[in-house]
Amino acid sequence: MKTKKQIQFVAISPEENNQPIFDYLDKKFKEIIESYQPKEPTKYLTKQEVSDMLSIKATSVHNWTKKNILQSYRIGGRVLYKRSEIEESIIKLRK
């Protein structure tokens, strides 16, 4: 003999029905906000600033640029370097 199962509906408001979804979204938005890192604008350096940063002569910066060790950018008559690329050019030596 088959038994019948009963389904019971509970009257809840649409807001109560959606609350778990809203709680989940709130949690995710908080996680995103906490991990958000604003993008820093690109910092450009002159040849002299790169020279000072690396404690080398400006002629070395020029030579390294010619050898494609450092990437340079020209705007107007000025030669500039991206700070992030200068930092990436520094290679860690293994012992």
Through-space distance between the first and last CA atoms of the chain, rounded to whole angstroms: 80
Please compute the mean of the pLDDT values over residues 1-27 and round it to a whole number.
Answer: 80
Distance, CA of 83 to CA of 19 (rounded, Å): 48
How do residues 79-92 score in pLDDT, each as one tens digit? Answer: 999 999 999 888 87
Distance, CA of 67 to CA of 2 (rounded, Å): 86
Query: 46 pLDDT exceeds 70?
Result: yes
Q: Number of helices and strands (H, E) in the chain?
A: 4, 3
Distance, CA of 82 to CA of 72 (rounded, Å): 8
Question: pTM surpassing 0.75?
Answer: no
Res 95: pLDDT: 66
How do residues 48-77 score in pLDDT, each as one tens digit? Answer: 999 999 999 999 999 999 999 999 999 999
Say which amino acid occupies 49: E
